[in-house]
Amino acid sequence: MATRESIARTVHADAWEQHGLLRAGRGGRTGVLPGIRLMASGLPHPQWNNGDVTDPAAVDLAAVRAWYQPLGVPWGVRVPAGVPWPHGRFLFRKRLVLRDAGTVDAPPVPGLVVSTARTDDLVAVAAVAAAAFDGDPALEAAWIDPLLRAPEHATVALATLDGTPVATGSVLRTAGHAGPAAALAGVAVLPDAPEEAVRAVVGSWLLRHAFATGARLALAHPDTDAEAATLATLGLTPAGALDVYVDLA
């Protein structure tokens, strides 16, 4: 019988497979080898080209290297937390939180309006994400653009506070091995906005969209304790973790 942690890992792998599929024609690719599900976004950052290890003992690392080699991108793997993995360099532990479909609400923030971002909002969305995550707007735009162009699979939010863009985020809907599910990610809030309150409103708005369109599960991966606490108020509670390794090429 599947555990909550194994279900969370499956939802995660389904979502990243979908990311690879959405980027077909842009360097995106997906594949399956013994013990690992593979994806590439085509972007020059290892966080966006990864394999989700399902059975560490079955993985042939030489075959994984051969799969990524012609793509010319840096890559890494994600292993169930705590499972021995003697390859590459441990980078960090990625926490997973999960919830079932249902009611989700957050206290309103006066003056905050959340709406569905469109393709012509790309510059504004990328600017918010880059400012919140200390990133490159062009690289953020390259990641976000395929989501904006696939409304059947993804919803990207753009939140304004008194008319000024202050936050964004997305949900990616999947129908893979875990069944109908959604991955909540990229919730970015500008530092001069009330971060946790805005994060809760944007997250709840995105989750409602995901559940309204058929998702039965929702997954997220908090980077900080504060983010985890906010997600907990939205019903997302701990469901294991993944250990991320790089420098495997």
CATH 3.40.630.30 location in the chain: 99-239
Q: What was the pLDDT predicted at 25?
A: 93
Sheet hosting strand 36-40, strand order edge to edge: 29-33, 36-40, 50-53, 76-80, 237-246, 89-100, 217-220, 179-189, 164-176, 154-161, 112-116
Q: What was the pLDDT predicted at 47?
A: 87
Q: What was the pLDDT predicted at 178?
A: 98
Q: What was the pLDDT predicted at 1?
A: 76
Q: What was the pLDDT predicted at 249?
A: 82
Look up residue 71 and give its amino acid: L
Nearest to residue 169, comparing CAs of 230, 119, 211, 115? 115
Contact 237, 220 (CB under 8 A): no
Low-confidence ranges of the chain (pLDDT < 70): none
Reported as a single tens digit per residue, the pLDDT across 152-205 is: 999 999 999 999 999 999 999 999 999 999 999 999 999 999 999 999 999 999
The 3 state secondary structure assigned to the chain is CCCHHHHHHHHHHHHHHHHHHHCCCCCCEEEEECCEEEEECCCCCHHHCEEEECCHHHCCHHHHHHHHHHHCCCCEEEEECCCCCCCCEEEEEEEEEEEECCCCCCCCCCCEEEEECCHHHHHHHHHHHHHHHCCCHHHHHHHHHHHHCCCCCEEEEEEEECCEEEEEEEEEEEEECCEEEEEEEEEEECCCCCHHHHHHHHHHHHHHHHHHCCCCEEEECCCCHHHHHHHHHCCCEEEEEEEEEECCC
Q: What was the pLDDT predicted at 39?
A: 98
Q: Per the CATH hierarchy, to which homologous superfamily does domain 99-239 belong? A: Gcn5-related N-acetyltransferase (GNAT) (3.40.630.30)
Q: How far apart are CA 202 and CA 195, in angstroms?
A: 10
Nearest to residue 156, comparing CAs of 187, 191, 111, 177? 187
